[in-house]
Amino acid sequence: MNNVLITGANGFVGTHLIKRFVNDGIQVHAIIRANSNVDSIKNDCILHVHDGTTENMFEIIKGIKPELVVHLAASFNKNEHMYNNIDSLIKTNISFGVQLVQSMVMNNVKYMINTGTSWQHYEDRDYNPICLYSATKQAFQDILKYYTEATELRVLTLKLFHTYGPNDRRNKLFCQLRNAIKENTILNMTPGEQLIDIVYIDDVIKAYKIASDRLEEKKGLKMEEFIVSSGKHISLKKLVRTYYGIMNEDEKINWGGNKYRPREEMKPYTNGAILPKWKPQVMLEQGIRIMEGLL
């Protein structure tokens, strides 16, 4: 595939995915909002501003005619949502996606890699959303089922777990630990017994490349889903201590200073199928060292 469109392109996964596609000689397009920060991607892809309407989405897809759409865009919240972010969750995770897929179908664009989350599977169930965010991700996946049955659209969904790596601007665990070391502060955390499944970004990007090849090669495919899992679980407490050890810093954590969130994921989802031909290559300690410039 030589012409690819990415949504959510300025996010952590998106920025790394663009670089991989560009290095492979693929022309990359990105759909963005008018107020999006595109400093990290503006030199690597062709940008298309979406005004929020279905008509504009149709014109964007018609103009690009991508061979593949990689759908990464999402509005995210942790376990508890508030009344004032419901609209964002619905508009981004469902309405935007439907505008996108309808425009694909009307312009005969047949291939999509959709992005799901392990949070659709609380307590290791086939479907049990941890929060409204993961419920909206499932809702869009269910809508895709209609399109794959009623049209020639072919969809492969990759369900991601925790991800990490260089140039991560998200206020997630390693960013918080890095800042705490820099500022010499003590972090409040939960008791730290929850198990984490975490995958280095280069391995995540390889999964999208393999998924792209699979869509192109497997002619009878209508709709599939796979997990992008390390296959290994580590407790939050051990993960934090591993990081401090690699950084050669004294641990400054107030364990139990925060309560577990409602519907805290204590054990990652394990019942999903692993993407064929994919397995993680970068082990945790190696990944942390690369991320922190120690390798």
Question: Which pair of tokens denotes residue 139?
Answer: 């809702």
Residue 115 phi, psi dihedral angles, 5° rounding = -115, 120
Q: Are 9 and 26 in contact (CB under 8 A)?
A: no
Q: Which residue is it, tokens 């993680």?
A: 280
Please give the average per-residue pLDDT across 13-38, as a whole number: 96
pLDDT at 121 over 60: yes
Over pLDDT 90: what percentage of the chain? 94
Q: What is the CATH number of domain 173-196+232-268+282-291?
A: 3.90.25.10
164's enclosing H/E stretch is strand 162-164
Domain segments of the chain as ranges: 3-164+197-228, 173-196+232-268+282-291
What are the tens digits of pLDDT across the range 72-112? Answer: 999 987 656 667 789 999 999 999 999 999 999 999 999 99
Of the listed ranges 45-54, 70-79, 253-262, the least confidently predicted one is 70-79
Q: 31: number of CA atoms within 13 Å, CB side?
A: 29
- At 76 the pLDDT is 83
Is the pLDDT confidence value at 187 over 80? yes
59 burial (CB, 10 Å; 0-12 / 13-18 / 19+) is middle
What secondary structure does DSSP assign to 39-86, as a single string?
TTTTTTSEEEE--S-HHHHHHHHHHH--SEEEE-------S---GGGH
- pLDDT for 79 equals 55
Q: Which of 262, 258, 259, 261 is nearest to 188 (CA)?
A: 258
pLDDT at position 196 is 98
The matching CATH number, chosen from 3.30.1340.30, 3.40.50.2000, 3.40.50.720, 3.40.50.12500, for 3-164+197-228 is: 3.40.50.720
Return the pLDDT at 80: 61
Residue 90's Cβ-count burial label (10 Å; 0-12, 13-18, 19+) is middle
The DSSP code sequence of 199-246 is: EEHHHHHHHHHHHHHHHHH-TT-SEEEEEE--S--EEHHHHHHHHHHH
Q: Which residues of 23-36 are buried (b: 16+ CB within 10 A; e: fewer)?
A: eeebbbbbbbeeeb
Q: What was the pLDDT predicted at 78?
A: 62
Per-chain mean pLDDT for the chain:
96
Closest CA relative to residue 213, chosen from 7, 48, 67: 67
pLDDT in tens, 282-291: 999 999 999 9
Q: Tens of pLDDT along 146-183?
A: 999 999 999 999 999 999 999 998 999 999 999 999 99
pLDDT of res. 219:
84
- Rounded Cα distance between 51 and 65, Å, is 19
Question: How much of the chain exceeds pLDDT 70, in percent?
Answer: 98
Q: How far apart are CA 137 and CA 116, in angstroms?
A: 6
Do residues 101 and 142 make contact, with C-beta atoms less than 8 angstroms apart? no
Cβ proximity of 64 and 3 under 8 Å: yes
Kindly state the average pLDDT of the residues 235-244: 98
End-to-end CA distance of the chain: 33
